[in-house]
Amino acid sequence: MSKAPDNSAEIAQWLRLINAEGVGAVTFARLLKAFGSVERAMGTSIKDLCGVEGIGLNTAERIFRSRNSFDAEKEIELAEKNGVWIIHLNDERYPAVLKKTYDPPPVIYIKGTLSKADNLSLAIVGSRKCSIYGQEQASRFAHLLASAGFTICSGMARGIDTAAHQGALSAGGRTIAVQGCGLLDIYPPENKKLFEQITESGACISELPLKSEPRAENFSYRNRIIAGLSLGTIVVEAGFNSGALITAQAALENDREVMAVPGRIDSPLSRGANQLIKQGAKLVESVSDITEALGYVGEQVKEQVVSAAKIASDKMDAPLFDIVQLKLNTNEKMIYECLNKEPMHIEQIIEDTGLQAGSINSALISLQLKGVIKNLPGNFFLRR
């Protein structure tokens, strides 16, 4: 394991304050503004704490009592042992686009790398329970956008999020996953391998202590980070109660673009995305729609993005190469051997191979890029 980058200066004090009772991102920002530094905020009295906007006597007493309760040294040691680095809001390495949001996390844990290129990031989100169509669109858009230089941001949840990360990875691009739990408690557990792949081609990040368990309230709150890291959010499939709509709302609140891929009008999975379009979200059918939605930024990169996306798309229709030289992985071999020259529907491929839908979707994209299979309308596939 390569050594992680250095933590921010004075990170221990930041960890103690953000983990004090009654302190969240908004209260932390108010404390920092009122006292000028974390060190001064940590050393202040209950009386002075009561003078900060939004902090009453009860909250002031809780902060004062618990401000040194969190074992920051132990947390830092555990992070170093597991290749995780921790930065705070005043570190120049802190993502610039995230810092501009209403309530950026004061501290973020990072497994992997951050890059200035990540300032050109787009979020792709959607339902955990999704259709094959939804997975296909999430993977395809992520692949094309990553090929064009965008970093793909999502939440590594089952369904659309997983498909988006896999699409970006299949393009050899960068992707960032924001966890709703600590980085030592990977969720969902079946995405452990995906977690490792993302840390090699981007980063997995969290604002929560390393051993924090996955809790429902954390996942809805982390969605603001996904939106905050991105210039815009693309919703692929989402029901009316989907967390993806929370991400879209966070994007709107921080003056970021919201886009949606239209779905079937008779599908409950499409209601959230279709409703967003009714409310003014940009309807997305192509990469050009995305660059148009991004306004000035999109205009600056449009020619490069559209060209790169076209090259990536054309590879899916490239001529057949020597199958031996392609070095297919296990899933790709299973799917290739399952197919023949007659079109086969993706549901039949799932049944015949016994593989999970997400794994099949990722492998199908890879096989198309390698030019050995062809995708026909209606989710049918055949060997070339």
Is the domain defined by 112-312 classed in CATH 3.40.50.450?
yes
Tokens 């209260």, residue located: 27
pTM (two decimals)? 0.83
pLDDT higher for 241 or 251? Answer: 251
Cα-based distances in Å from 333 to 15, 48, 181, 368: 48, 66, 35, 13
Tell the CATH topology of 330-383: Arc Repressor Mutant, subunit A (1.10.10)
The answer, yes or no, to whether residue 1 has pLDDT greater than 60, is no
| pLDDT at 317 (0 to 100) | 53
DSSP-derived 3-state class of residue 238: coil
pLDDT digits (tens, 9 = 90+) for 167-189: 999 889 999 999 999 999 999 99
Contact present, 106 and 14 (Cβ < 8 Å): yes
**321, 371 contact by CB (below 8 A):** yes
pLDDT, mean of residues 85-94: 97
| Mean pLDDT to the nearest integer, 317-346 | 74
> What are the residue boundaries of the structural domains of the chain, listed by start?
11-82, 112-312, 330-383
Q: What is the pLDDT of residues 45-72, one digit of tens each?
A: 999 999 999 999 999 999 999 999 999 9
CATH class of this structure's domain 11-82: mainly alpha
User: What b-and-e string marks burial along 275-303, b requiring 16 or more CB atoms within 10 Å of the CB?
Assistant: bbbeeebbebeebeebbbbbeeebeebbe
Q: How high does pLDDT run on average in the chain?
A: 91
The number of helix segments (H) and strand segments (E) in the chain equals 18, 12
- Report the alpha-carbon distance of residue 354 to residue 9 in Å, rounded: 50
Residue 105: cis peptide before it, omega within 30 degrees of 0:
no
Provide CB contacts within 8 A for 36, sequence distance 6+.
Answer: none
DSSP state of 91: S
CB within 8 Å of 301: residues ≥ 6 apart: 120, 148, 149, 291
